[in-house]
């Protein structure tokens, strides 16, 4: 989430665009401080139409259907996957791969769907990780498919990995 918020998918966000997002969040923080309305950004769309982006369709299929939707009593369906504009920029300061190489020599297994828009982050983590490491790309899988599509989840690989390395 850090790199996705800092740089966009496939580095599609410029530093200037990032600064605009940060400035908008700072303005929104003041609005909320003075009692103004909370604004939400991103997250999953609440309805599909002909122009809905494929990534949003994938998230909708999980988060907005009985397959994966959960709304706690303290929230609303519209808020369960949508961060606030004022808090979302905090993700820009998350750098999960800092010192990833120091996990070595403990083995690491990275799993990503072949069609996952987030695959680039698993590949980057794998590139930066020390040895031993393994990257498994699951054919015909997107990101959320690996949440619950048991026919796609590589259970045999997971079992083998943990049996070999958790002794």
- Could you read off the pLDDT of 90-149 as tens digits, one per residue? 888 888 899 999 999 999 999 999 999 999 999 999 999 999 999 999 999 999 999 999
Secondary-structure breakdown of the chain: helix, strand, coil percentages, each rounded to the nearest 5: 45, 10, 45
Contact (Cβ atoms closer than 8 angstroms) between residue 110 and residue 136:
yes
Q: Is the pLDDT of residue 80 over 90?
A: no
Let me know whether 10 and 86 are in one domain: yes
Let me know whether 89 and 108 are in one domain: no
CATH number of the domain bearing residue 23: 1.10.10.800
Number of H helices, E strands in the chain: 7, 2
**pLDDT bucket at 3, cuts 50 / 70 / 90:** confident
Q: Is the pLDDT of residue 78 over 90?
A: no
Let me know whether 71 and 126 are in one domain: no
**DSSP conformation class of 127:** H
Give residue 6's pLDDT. 84
The pTM (predicted TM-score) of the whole model is 0.80
Q: What is the mean pLDDT of residues 5-9?
A: 82
Let me know whether 23 and 105 are in one domain: no
Number of domains, the chain: 2
Domain end point (choices 77, 93, 109):
93
Let me know whether 113 and 144 are in one domain: yes
Q: What is the mean pLDDT of residues 15-27?
A: 92
Let me know whether 6 and 82 are in one domain: yes
Domain around 62 = 2-93
């Amino acid at each position: 989430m850090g790199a996705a918020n800092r740089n966009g998918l496939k580095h599609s966000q410029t530093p200037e665009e990032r600064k605009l997002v940060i400035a908008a969040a700072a303005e929104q923080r003041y609005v909320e401080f003075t009692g103004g309305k909370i604004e939400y950004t991103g997250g999953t769309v609440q309805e599909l139409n002909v122009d809905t982006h494929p990534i949003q369709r994938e998230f909708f299929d999980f988060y907005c259907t009985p397959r994966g939707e959960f709304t706690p009593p303290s929230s609303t369906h519209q808020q369960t996957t949508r961060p606030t504009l004022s808090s979302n920029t905090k993700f820009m300061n998350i750098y999960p791969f800092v010192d990833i190489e120091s996990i070595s020599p403990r083995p690491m297994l990275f799993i990503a769907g072949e069609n996952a828009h987030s695959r680039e982050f698993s590949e980057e983590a794998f590139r930066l990780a020390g040895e031993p490491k393994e990257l498994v790309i699951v054919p015909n899988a997107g990101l959320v498919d690996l949440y619950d599509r048991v026919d796609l989840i590589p259970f045999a690989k997971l079992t083998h990995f943990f049996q070999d390395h958790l002794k």
